[in-house]
Chains A and B, each alone.
Chain A
């Protein structure tokens, strides 16, 4: 067994289960927040629910219980209404500043309530800032003879509730997220969906609040979905991947915090940040690595094709020469390995395969020059640079169209002949 799991006691496992159970509904709600570009509303709500929670606890509610959820939803709605009122009633500042005023004020109010009433309630500023995931296993209710942590039950119920609500309104949510104008035109209750999202955010925030504290909830909401969006495209895939990322980060973050002897709340956020960073690096198509590799591969192909074309032009006669020097050497060696050039007493020379490939490039180049010369009013010396780039991106279909356009002319605008189309070699598509 790994040293991480070796000393694990049951309460650690329950804490991990609670972290995962809380992370799942947060990731689901976060998927919609991110898709609808409301991440900062999530942040604002996560801060703003604090006074609602504290007042509910002062009124006899239990942190994470139904009374605090009502308090949180009420506080979220009050904040959202104030924000809407401020936004519609020009106050001469941007929306960002108006939001900044709203949620910091609500959070400050909550902290003051906690500080003043700390002696009377089961809540302190540390709990507000870090949550108390480490203690969640000790707050249990008996279910079918088992002592189950309340946080775990709350998380599971929320996940079921949010999941069910999403399944029932999925089509509408997708439309409202990606084309709100069309959704409105179709008569969908976009405002109602927004309110539902607001309520869902407030409810999951309460669960997350208990686990990781008021400031870090936003990470559990937004980070899984932001990472998932980089990895997959369709919204239901994003939701599934986000839930998986959130749950994994909950477990890994807890274990890492336990190993490093620090708080789980911060470590879960750090793990989520690491997951996002990895996703940004390795995401297919749009990831930084994929794009860098794609750029390198393209440059390498262009370098080889330019070498072949230059060698072909050198053999054609005129001023062109076979490239030499340290930069050309690896290109030539690579092409030799492909069987496109061979080493002779006089230097590198094209093989028949290489000649065929070179003729394709040169044909693309000169067809493009011929087409430009005919259809675009460019001076002769302006034709070469665009063709030098485009030659690498023209396939046989486009060459056929260009050849038909420029007619039977066998010479490019510089008077050099256009080599004929080379039939593709059997079994090898370029």
Chain B
């Protein structure tokens, strides 16, 4: 039914771009974890000059050769970046901005020069700046898809090594892994994905295809494998939205639509993801506040005072949980409430002591659910520790 509405070629291209989105997300996940997000940007800007040179050399718009040219100058741009860092005093940020701008300038000079001469087919070159999938043929699509799926397979095969190097370079080197080689492989994959992504997103924005889906995926999970997979899925989704969106609106380049789709997914992730998302953090902060109020409430009732001001929500919850009962003289603790109040008091006491004596180590105690000491330490030893603590005071 869909095939009847959408031209065959569009379906093929959409499938290819989906594959590119998948692979870009997967490669990008590792690139983001290895802090190589900007390398992709430099490679992307540098690829334009190669695309234009390949067009001049072959005299026609053969996507395979254009992408080979783009890959060569993308890698040359990264090499220039390394050379500047190695042999000049220019600092990293300036080196990055410089290489990115100058390599893109060379590409723009070539493209505008070619366009000005009105060479046949030359109008297609400008589509590599912001991406335009309308001009992609079925043959091109097969090429893009096979490159992308190859890159995705390489990521899947090398996931262990890439993860290790991304998270603990020193350990990987000490354990005898070829860190330099793995890094080189990652940078090579980034360059390949940038070039393969050119028709979909263009030199200016293709870096977003590698960066935004992983950032969105990162919000949902702490596991690398899941993040890589999720980034691939989100990349696929953004790429598809881009193809459809630019097909619907005339003259709209694909790249910006892909990027905005990915950014929307990232925004939703940053708000809604459990654990890391804004909503989840806010809920956790609220829960923590209620728990704190509940502690205050129980302590206050245990002392025989009334409920403290501002603890209404905690009081309602305590009533519902059966910790507090409404008696004749106001609110009173139930048996469970008394036990819980004692437990809370002990924990607060323990934390006060941790913060007072070893504030720098407090973080380590966060993972420990401090039990009732009487349940785990025998009586004589406990008395000894208490006496020692008293003396230290």
Question: Given the interface contacts A91-B270, A262-B116, does A222 sit within 8 Å of B98 by beta carbon?
Answer: yes
Cβ distance A80 to chain B, nearest Cβ, rounded Å: 16
Collect the chain A residues with CB atoms within 8 Å of residue B104's CB.
215-216, 219, 269
B110 in complex: contacting residue of A39, A100, A230, A262, CB < 8 Å = A262
Instruction: Give Cα A111–Cα B87 distance, bound, in whole angstroms.
Output: 37
Collect the chain A residues with CB atoms within 8 Å of residue B110's CB.
262, 266
Main secondary structure of the interface of B (DSSP, over half): helix
Docked-complex contact B108 and A263, CB < 8 angstroms? yes
Collect the chain A residues with CB atoms within 8 Å of residue B266's CB.
101
Instruction: Give Cα A337–Cα B369 distance, bound, in whole angstroms.
Output: 85
CB-based nearest A residue for B270? A91
Cβ distance A118 to chain B, nearest Cβ, rounded Å: 7
Pick the interface stretch among B137-145, B182-190, B203-211: B203-211
Question: Given the interface contacts A223-B102, A261-B116, A269-B102, does A98 sit within 8 Å of B108 by beta carbon?
Answer: no
Cβ distance B224 to chain A, nearest Cβ, rounded Å: 12
B237 contacts the other chain (CB 8 A):
no
Collect the chain A residues with CB atoms within 8 Å of residue B112's CB.
130, 262-263, 265-266
Instruction: Give Cα A89–Cα B94 distance, bound, in whole angstroms.
Output: 26
Collect the chain B residues with CB atoms within 8 Å of residue A104's CB.
205, 207-208, 211-212, 259, 263
Question: Given the interface contacts A107-B205, A108-B208, A280-B88, does A267 sit within 8 Å of B109 by beta carbon?
Answer: yes
Contact with B along A220-233 (1 / 0, CB 8 A): 01110110011000
Collect the chain A residues with CB atoms within 8 Å of residue B249's CB.
115-116
Instruction: Give Cα A37–Cα B94 distance, bound, in whole angstroms.
Output: 7
Within 8 A of B (CB), among A1-45: 34, 37-40, 42-43
Cβ distance A78 to chain B, nearest Cβ, rounded Å: 14
Collect the chain B residues with CB atoms within 8 Å of residue A335's CB.
none
Collect the chain B residues with CB atoms within 8 Å of residue A109's CB.
256, 260
Main secondary structure of the interface of A (DSSP, over half): helix
Docked-complex contact B211 and A218, CB < 8 angstroms? no
A-B contact count (CB 8 A): 216
Docked-complex contact B255 and A108, CB < 8 angstroms? yes
A280 in complex: contacting residue of B84, B103, B258, CB < 8 Å = B84
Docked-complex contact A269 and B276, CB < 8 angstroms? no
B251 contacts the other chain (CB 8 A):
yes
Instruction: Give Cα A226–Cα B37 distance, bound, in whole angstroms.
Output: 22
Docked-complex contact B105 and A219, CB < 8 angstroms? yes
Question: Given the interface contacts A94-B32, A101-B211, A105-B259, does A273 sit within 8 Å of B251 by beta carbon?
Answer: no
Instruction: Give Cα A215–Cα B105 distance, bound, in whole angstroms.
Output: 9
B135 contacts the other chain (CB 8 A):
no
Docked-complex contact A272 and B218, CB < 8 angstroms? no
Docked-complex contact A257 and B251, CB < 8 angstroms? no
Docked-complex contact B38 and A96, CB < 8 angstroms? yes
Contact with B along A70-102 (1 / 0, CB 8 A): 000000000000000000011111101110110
Question: Given the interface contacts A94-B32, A104-B207, A105-B259, does A111 sit within 8 Å of B219 by beta carbon?
Answer: no
Instruction: Give Cα A199–Cα B65 distance, bound, in whole angstroms.
Output: 43
Cβ distance B136 to chain A, nearest Cβ, rounded Å: 19
CB-based nearest A residue for B246? A115
Collect the chain B residues with CB atoms within 8 Å of residue A286's CB.
88-89
B326 contacts the other chain (CB 8 A):
no
Docked-complex contact B32 and A219, CB < 8 angstroms? no
Instruction: Give Cα A276–Cα B97 distance, bound, in whole angstroms.
Output: 13
Within 8 A of B (CB), among A241-290: 257, 260-263, 265-270, 272-273, 276, 280, 286, 288
A105 in complex: contacting residue of B32, B102, B260, CB < 8 Å = B260
A183 contacts the other chain (CB 8 A):
no
Question: Given the interface contacts A97-B32, A286-B89, does A34 sit within 8 Å of B94 by beta carbon?
Answer: yes
Docked-complex contact B105 and A108, CB < 8 angstroms? no
A125 contacts the other chain (CB 8 A):
yes
Collect the chain A residues with CB atoms within 8 Å of residue B211's CB.
97, 100-101, 104
CB-based nearest B residue for A40? B93
A40 in complex: contacting residue of B84, B97, B257, CB < 8 Å = B97
Collect the chain B residues with CB atoms within 8 Å of residue A398's CB.
none
Instruction: Give Cα A107–Cα B38 distance, bound, in whole angstroms.
Output: 16
Cβ distance B223 to chain A, nearest Cβ, rounded Å: 12
Cβ distance A377 to chain B, nearest Cβ, rounded Å: 32
Docked-complex contact A93 and B105, CB < 8 angstroms? no
Cβ distance A115 to chain B, nearest Cβ, rounded Å: 5
A410 contacts the other chain (CB 8 A):
no
A121 contacts the other chain (CB 8 A):
no
CB-based nearest A residue for B212? A101
Docked-complex contact A43 and B100, CB < 8 angstroms? yes
CB-based nearest A residue for B52? A266
B101 in complex: contacting residue of A107, A125, A218, CB < 8 Å = A218
Docked-complex contact B113 and A97, CB < 8 angstroms? no
B117 contacts the other chain (CB 8 A):
yes
Taking A107-B256, A286-B89 as given, write out 20 further A-B residue pairs in contact, using a Cβ cutoff of 8 Å, ordered by the A residue number.
Answer: A40-B96, A89-B278, A91-B218, A92-B219, A100-B211, A104-B208, A105-B260, A107-B205, A108-B258, A126-B126, A129-B129, A216-B105, A219-B105, A226-B97, A263-B116, A266-B112, A269-B102, A273-B101, A280-B84, A286-B88
Pull 23 A–B residue pairs with CB atoms less than 8 Å apart, ordered by A.
Answer: A34-B93, A37-B91, A42-B97, A92-B218, A96-B35, A97-B37, A104-B207, A108-B256, A115-B252, A125-B129, A129-B108, A215-B101, A216-B101, A219-B97, A226-B97, A260-B113, A269-B102, A269-B106, A269-B108, A272-B102, A276-B102, A286-B88, A286-B89
Give B contacts to A, CB under 8 Å: 32, 35, 37-38, 41, 45, 84, 87-91, 93-98, 100-113, 116-117, 126, 129-130, 204-205, 207-208, 211-212, 214-215, 218-219, 222, 249, 251-253, 255-260, 263, 266, 270, 276, 278
